[in-house]
């Protein structure tokens, strides 16, 4: 997994906030996730809020700025990228370097605390085969009744998902995007009950940004543009050829999930 992000290390750290039209450093875009997190925090009263793949810590810092965080709440930003964590602002946030799948509850909590798990735009890093093991791993860390609030890139139709997955395959990454149905099935099978699903703003990916992120040259971009435009001419809402290069559009949903007990997860 660390190898998977190795390719895009160049855009981690100081450059991250300006990438993709500042999507990941835009407070109004962050609201779509953070308001759900704040609502759940009021009722579930967690002791620890852990942002899984929290990058530069922007989301946790935003929660602090907005006064959404109670004084006693411990904030943990877990990310495997040293460069991302190097630019994280302090604001009382504890940074942990490591892979999500290597993190066990006991490493963070020795005192039987209540957890709230949060994540934005990370599930697709685990690929088609890694999604289910990841969701199961997270469920194994949670106690019944604890929440996992996450924003995930996913698509309404199989054809939309196929189009985006072809783009990522051609860019030589293992990232993979499910349909809403596929993701819903995996979440349920892993033992999470979905309380709500809401839309979050679409992320526009320009071929210039993608070339820089994944080390592509002009020829790569031209080949990808031609091949995907030919195979998916009806998918302009996902992949749009431009005069030079292309734009791709990543759609997101915010999921509020609760760790179900064994019995109720069987009856979903």
Ligand X SMILES: C[S@@+](CC[C@H](N)C(=O)[O-])C[C@H]1O[C@@H](n2cnc3c(N)ncnc32)[C@H](O)[C@@H]1O
- Give the footprint of ligand X on this chain (CB under 6 A): 1, 5, 24, 53-55, 58-59, 79-81, 84, 99-100, 120-122, 125
Distances (CA, A) of 28 to 23, 24, 151, 251: 9, 10, 14, 16
Write down the least CB distance from residue 41 to ligand X, Å.
17
Nearer of residues 29 and 224 to ligand X, judged by Cβ: 29
Write down the least CB distance from residue 238 to ligand X, Å.
18
- Length of the chain equals 268
The enclosing H or E element of 100 equals none
Write down the least CB distance from residue 59 to ligand X, Å.
6
Write down the least CB distance from residue 227 to ligand X, Å.
25
Nearer of residues 24 and 177 to ligand X, judged by Cβ: 24
Distances (CA, A) of 231 to 104, 203, 235, 239, 251: 43, 22, 9, 11, 20
State CA 73 to chain mean position distance: 22
Nearer of residues 183 and 260 to ligand X, judged by Cβ: 183
Distance CA(199)–CA(220), nearest Å, equals 32
Nearer of residues 45 and 97 to ligand X, judged by Cβ: 97
Helices 180-189 & 127-141 angle (0-180, nearest 10): 40
User: Of 171, 184, 160, which Cα lies nearest the Cα of 253?
Assistant: 184
Nearer of residues 126 and 246 to ligand X, judged by Cβ: 126
Q: Within 13 Å of residue 67, how many CA atoms lie on the same side as its CB?
A: 0
Write down the least CB distance from residue 91 to ligand X, Å.
15
């Amino acid at each position: 997994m660390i190898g998977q992000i190795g390719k895009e290390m160049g855009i981690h750290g100081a450059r991250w906030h300006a990438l993709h039209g500042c999507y990941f450093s835009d407070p109004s875009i962050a609201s779509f996730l953070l308001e759900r997190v704040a609502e759940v925090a009021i009722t579930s009263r967690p002791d620890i809020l852990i942002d899984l793949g929290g990058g530069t810590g922007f989301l946790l810092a935003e929660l602090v700025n907005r006064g959404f965080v109670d004084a006693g709440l411990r904030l943990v930003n877990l990310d495997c990228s040293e460069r991302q964590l190097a630019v994280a602002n302090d604001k009382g946030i504890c940074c942990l370097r490591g892979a999500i799948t290597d993190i066990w509850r006991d490493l963070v909590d020795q005192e039987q605390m209540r957890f709230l798990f949060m994540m934005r735009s990370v599930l697709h890093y685990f690929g088609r085969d890694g999604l289910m093991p990841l969701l199961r791993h997270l469920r194994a860390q949670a106690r019944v009744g604890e929440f996992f609030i996450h924003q995930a890139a996913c698509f309404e139709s199989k054809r939309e998902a196929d189009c985006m997955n072809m783009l990522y395959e051609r860019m030589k990454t293992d990232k993979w995007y499910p349909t809403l149905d596929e993701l819903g099935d995996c979440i349920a099978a892993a033992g999470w009950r979905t309380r709500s699903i809401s839309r979050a703003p679409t992320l526009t990916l320009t071929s210039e940004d993608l070339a820089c992120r994944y080390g592509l040259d002009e020829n790569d971009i031209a080949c990808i543009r031609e091949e995907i435009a030919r195979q998916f001419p009806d998918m302009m809402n996902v992949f749009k050829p431009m005069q030079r290069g292309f734009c791709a559009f990543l759609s997101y949903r915010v999921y509020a999930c609760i760790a179900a007990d064994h019995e109720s997860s069987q009856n979903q």
